[in-house]
Structure 1
Amino acid sequence: MSLTLYYHPLASYCHKVLIALYESGTDFERRIIDLADAADSAELQVLWPIGKFPVIRDPARQRDLPESSIIIEYLDRLYPGEQRLLPDDWQTALEVRLWDRFFDHYLQTPIQRIVSDRLHATNGDLTRERATLETAYRMLERRMASRIWVASPDFSLADCAAAPALFYACTLLPFPDDYQHLSAYFDRLIQRPSFQRVIDEARPWFSLYPFADDIAQRFRQPSGNP
């Protein structure tokens, strides 16, 4: 029995898990959940009453796991690829977890608030959210001046978190022109076959994203990856 991922192809936290699955080459089945559909929502709530995706079901171990970071740690321990996404070295692993949290809290959270404001036409004051993104960009520009990947010598959980966060963030607040290190890091992320595959799968759903017109042209054409 294979794993089943309950997800949506447009959702950034689902992208994070998909990147990890594609990096490891783990086989899994897909169950797309439309939260606007009552039956789909009810099915998801049976697995995780909070009603948010992603959730992964592992029939072999009788486990249903929510939360993208937890899912990736689980996969990395029990279904690892050739390269681990959580290093064995404790100090490096701590850095990976820290920067994973950084992307989720300080990019994904303000992104979701800005997107929700547009979806619901609430016209709220988003000054704080945009300021948080600006601060995160500054921190990343400094951090990436001497690094290839954000938290480990190798691609890690933190980079799985970075790719979708930065993809959506730059549709809301483009990177400053002089942030060369941040831009170069993002370019490395989007060149990963795992992330290119995620974007290829998300492309048919782009029109549902309220800032679809701000998605860069380079993401609008298929990558050519299988």
Structure 2
Amino acid sequence: MLQLFAHPFSSYCQKALIAFYENDVAFEWRMLGQDDPENLAEWSAAWPIKRMPMLRDGDKNVVESTVIIEYLQLAHPGPVRLLPKNPADALETRMMDRFFDNYIMIPMQKVVFNAIRPEADRDPYGVDQARSLLDDAYGWLDGVIAGRTWAAGEDYSLADCAASPSLFYADWVHPIADRFENVRAYRNRLLERPSFARAVDEARPYRSFFPLGAPDRD
């Protein structure tokens, strides 16, 4: 049985979970939380960087959500292929995956993590930069997604696994303006996807943890 060391409210964990749910891949939850010290100890010993999620397959540990998704396709494939066979299509998919991680997820997390710092250590200038980057990213994505159903084309892929939690939480942190109507419509399509809808529902009990206050929607 595959073991996934993760927490359901984590954006990067949700990214990996989508891949499991898309292909109905069975796994054992190894919940990473203060109520599960054994899981925390085992995870931190295996991965001292201590970033979620981590997949264990026998004696092999796989880290980083993108790599976990690609590993599942190689070692535990299912009917939904999340990385295209065609090299050019695969390159576009990987580029969009990096776009969501680097230009949506990271600035979103910058704002969130700033909110949990002691007030004396907060970085308002950095937060303003992060919000500006999010607006730039929304604007670029709005043009790209206008001609596509999914992030990299007409097939659901790794890029959409990345987009789902990125845009979900980013809209909580820095709302997607009405002028980015294509991005807003795409976010709605992601929320309607059963795999991500399941991940969102599993995370609902933890919404009180969100340091900026979770909105009463989604």
TM-score range, shorter chain: over 0.9
**Using a 3 Å threshold, how does the CA distance of structure 1 residues 28 and 39 change in structure 2: closer, same or farther?**
closer
**Map of 1:93 onto structure 2:** 90
**Using a 3 Å threshold, how does the CA distance of structure 1 residues 123 and 37 change in structure 2: closer, same or farther?**
farther
**Map of 2:20 onto structure 1:** 21
The alpha carbon displacement at 1:68 in A equals 0.3
2:30·2:39 contact (CA, 8 Å) conserved in 1? no
The alpha carbon displacement at 1:94 in A equals 0.3
Moved more, 118-127 or 203-212: 118-127
The alpha carbon displacement at 1:74 in A equals 0.2
The alpha carbon displacement at 1:152 in A equals 3.2
Find the aligned partners of 1:211 and 1:91 in 2 and give their Cα distance.
Answer: 40
SS for the counterpart of 1:146 is: coil
Find the aligned partners of 1:85 and 1:99 in 2 and give their Cα distance.
Answer: 13
Instruction: Let me know the Cα RMSD of the aligned residues.
Output: 1.5
**Map of 1:158 onto structure 2:** 159
- TM-score between the two structures when normalised by the length of structure 1: 0.90
- In structure 2, give the amino acid aligned to 1:191: E
**Map of 2:42 onto structure 1:** 43
What does 1:57-206 align with in structure 2 at a 5 Å threshold? 57-59=56-58, 62-120=59-117, 121=119, 122-124=121-123, 125=125, 126-206=127-207
SS for the counterpart of 2:146 is: helix
**Using a 3 Å threshold, how does the CA distance of structure 1 residues 171 and 30 change in structure 2: closer, same or farther?**
same
Find the aligned partners of 1:190 and 1:147 in 2 and give their Cα distance.
Answer: 16
- In structure 2, give the amino acid aligned to 1:180: E
The alpha carbon displacement at 1:39 in A equals 5.1
Find the aligned partners of 2:179 and 2:110 in 1 and give their Cα distance.
Answer: 27
1:76·1:85 contact (CA, 8 Å) conserved in 2? yes
The alpha carbon displacement at 1:40 in A equals 4.4
**Using a 3 Å threshold, how does the CA distance of structure 1 residues 37 and 25 change in structure 2: closer, same or farther?**
closer
**Map of 1:3 onto structure 2:** 2
Aligned length: 214
- In structure 2, give the amino acid aligned to 1:80: P
Runs of 4+ in 1 over 6 A off after TM superposition: 35-38
- TM-score between the two structures when normalised by the length of structure 2: 0.93
Find the aligned partners of 1:31 and 1:37 in 2 and give their Cα distance.
Answer: 8
**Map of 2:11 onto structure 1:** 12
SS for the counterpart of 1:4 is: strand
Find the aligned partners of 1:207 and 1:193 in 2 and give their Cα distance.
Answer: 24
The alpha carbon displacement at 1:10 in A equals 0.7
**Using a 3 Å threshold, how does the CA distance of structure 1 residues 179 and 19 change in structure 2: closer, same or farther?**
same
**Using a 3 Å threshold, how does the CA distance of structure 1 residues 206 and 179 change in structure 2: closer, same or farther?**
same
Find the aligned partners of 1:43 and 1:77 in 2 and give their Cα distance.
Answer: 25
